[in-house]
Amino acid sequence: MYTVRVRKLIEQILKFGIVGIIAFLIDWGILNLLVGVFHMHNVIAATISFLISLVFNYFASMKYVFRHRPDMARWMEMAIFLFSAVVGLFINMVIIWLSTYGMNKDAYISQHAMYLLRTNIGKLISAVVVAIWNFIIRKWLLDDTHTNAMNRLRRGDHILSEEELEAKWERSFSHRLGMWSIEHTPKGWK
């Protein structure tokens, strides 16, 4: 039973990784096109590429990685995803900006090759940091298996019973947030 639960968690992490790799390739490709070909400033280019890849990431993550929680309204799922994306975008912008900090103000033109290289190094670092942030926040607030996830990592006699899991879930922030979202969903919204 323990190995089946751990296997499901590993499977979810792998799916998250595949979606993340595809989103990264979209992000990285557009970033390099904008900076490398069009000589755009890296922070502006990174913002555009991040937002485009975010659209793919949202739909793919909600379809293939995380399951809808019946105790949370869809609008709240979108709000949480948007919140995590805004924080991720901020992290992305700061790391990209730091990657070329200290270069000439016109480095994207005058020192193009070095600027592009440093931008790509910053993008790789940013991708890892943002991926970790996104998985943690989305697993905590969006996934319907959150309560059982921590139980899966426990061994033997430390595993919680179904009643204990249910009580823990009822007290959790994510469940209370989800129930609040359902109670405060405007009429006509699903």
Structural domain boundaries in the chain: 1-143
What whole-number distance in Å separates Cα of residue 73 and Cα of residue 50?
A: 26
Instruction: Tell me the average pLDDT of the chain.
Output: 86
Q: 175 pLDDT exceeds 60?
A: yes
Residue appearing with tokens 């000439």: 104
- φ, ψ dihedrals at 154, nearest 5°: -85, 155
- Going by pLDDT thresholds of 50, 70 and 90, the confidence category of residue 153 is low
Residue percentage of the chain with pLDDT more than 70 = 89
pLDDT value at residue 93: 96
Classified as helix, coil or strand, 186 is coil
- Going by pLDDT thresholds of 50, 70 and 90, the confidence category of residue 156 is low
- Going by pLDDT thresholds of 50, 70 and 90, the confidence category of residue 36 is very high
pLDDT value at residue 155: 61
| Segments in the chain forming alpha helices (H) | 2-32, 42-60, 74-99, 107-110, 112-141, 146-152, 162-171, 173-183
Q: 51-81 in b/e burial notation, b at 16+ Cβ within 10 A?
A: ebbbeebbebbbeebbeebebbbeebbeebb
Amino acid in position 18: I
Q: Residues 15, 65: contact at Cβ < 8 Å?
A: yes
- Residue whose C-alpha is closest to residue 146's, from 128, 171, 181: 171
What whole-number distance in Å separates Cα of residue 86 and Cα of residue 88?
A: 5
- Going by pLDDT thresholds of 50, 70 and 90, the confidence category of residue 70 is confident
